[in-house]
Structure 1
Amino acid sequence: MIASNQNPEIIELPDGRLRYIDRLLTETDTLSHTLKNSLHWYQGDVYLFGRHYQTPRLQCWYGDKAYTYSQVRLAPTPWPPLLNQLKAIVEEASGHAFNSVLGNWYQHGQHNMGMHADNEPELGKNPVVAMLTFGIARPLQFRHRNGEDRFTITPTDGSLLVMEGPIQHYWRHGINKSKKVTGQRTSLTFRQIL
């Protein structure tokens, strides 16, 4: 696992900022295989508008503290060594400290992530979320709450995307279903739970 020293691309959005490093990690095939086979993946639950749904992807949660979103509480789980190594790389590249990570495994194009913001109270005033991507590149859609501004970025294999500033208050983000996608994508979203 080799981390590059390239400088991030800064993407200024109205009411938010992204930082993007296209190839933070190399040896991604080996990393992705190890993550898929060593982490505790499961199909999670969410509650939206009073109804129960299973998440349309697999997920895992590791960290020092519990996390609650969509009325579901994720209990703290000890860090495996590989996630600790990746956390250290992400912290150095982003300049932020993290104590938790949510993994998402999109096994095919029908696996998706609905539009949402990571703005739960336990993430603090201006939450920072740093996302490592492995596997097939899929567009990450951003929509401003004003209903007009939109932005799309397609994180590549081994990339790091950092969402920071007030972005979680003004923008929602998600990954759409796609009939064209046949490959798999795994993401690790590091965050600091207060």
Structure 2
Amino acid sequence: MIVSSQNPEIIDLPDGRLRYVSSLLTETDALIHRLTTSLNWYQGDVFLFGRHHKTPRLQCWYGDKAYTYSQVRLEPTPWPPLLQQLRTIVEEASGHAFNSVLGNWYQHGQHNMGMHADNEPELGQNPVVAMLTFGTARPLQFRHRNGVDRFTIIPEDGSLLIMEGPIQHYWRHGIHKSKTISAPRISLTFRQILSVNHAHTARRQSKK
């Protein structure tokens, strides 16, 4: 694994902004092997339309605080050294601090992520989410809540995508199924989980 000094590309969207570094990390084969074999991957579940459903991918959660999405609570889990190292790299590249990471392992093209926004209360008013991608490049779809604006980016192996500003209020994002992709992809999405009181205060301020 080699860390590059590449400057990010700025992508201004209506009501949000992305920063993208296409090759933050290079020579990632050994790193991918370590990620797939050393982390505690499992098939989680989400609560949709009144029922629990198995997630169509594997996931893992590490961090200092609990996190709840789709009515599923993820408990704090100590950081392994590998993720600590990657967190430091992401913090230096993004200029933001993170205390948690959600991993998603798409083992083939039928593994996917539904359209969603990372807008849970404990993420604060305008949360920053920084995503490292490893393995096969797959389109990441963005759709504005106005029903008109759309944007697609294809994060490459070793890339860093930073979602910031009010983007989580106005846009949803996801990864669709693919019949032509058979190789795996891993994403690590770093985020800052706030305390319950801080999160509620930030949410009230955002509504003023």
**Same fold flag (TM > 0.5):** yes
Q: Using the TM superposition, give the Cα deviation of residue 26 of structure 1 relative to its aligned residue in structure 2, in angstroms.
A: 1.3
Deviations 1:141-185 (A, max 9, x none): 000000000000000000000000000000000000000001100
Deviations 1:26-48 (A, max 9, x none): 12111111000000000001001
Separation in 2, partners of 1:128, 1:18? 10
Separation in 1, partners of 2:63, 2:8? 26
2:24 counterpart SS class = coil
Q: Which residue of 1 aligns with 2:32?
A: 32
Q: Using the TM superposition, give the Cα deviation of residue 115 of structure 1 relative to its aligned residue in structure 2, in angstroms.
A: 0.1
Separation in 2, partners of 1:116, 1:61? 18
Superposition TM-score, scaled by structure 2 size: 0.93
Following TM superposition, where does structure 1 have runs of at least 4 consecutive aligned residues deviating by more than 6 angstroms? none
Q: Using the TM superposition, give the Cα deviation of residue 51 of structure 1 relative to its aligned residue in structure 2, in angstroms.
A: 1.2
Q: Which residue of 2 aligns with 1:17?
A: 17
- 1:64-75, aligned counterparts within 5 Å? 64-75=64-75
- 1:17-166, aligned counterparts within 5 Å? 17-166=17-166
1:86 counterpart SS class = helix
**Structure ID, larger Rg:** 2
Q: Which residue of 2 aligns with 1:177?
A: 177
1:134 counterpart SS class = strand
Q: Using the TM superposition, give the Cα deviation of residue 3 of structure 1 relative to its aligned residue in structure 2, in angstroms.
A: 1.1
2:3 counterpart SS class = coil
What's the RMSD between the two structures over aligned residues? 0.4
Separation in 2, partners of 1:168, 1:95? 19
Deviations 1:30-74 (A, max 9, x none): 111100000000000100121110000000000000000000000
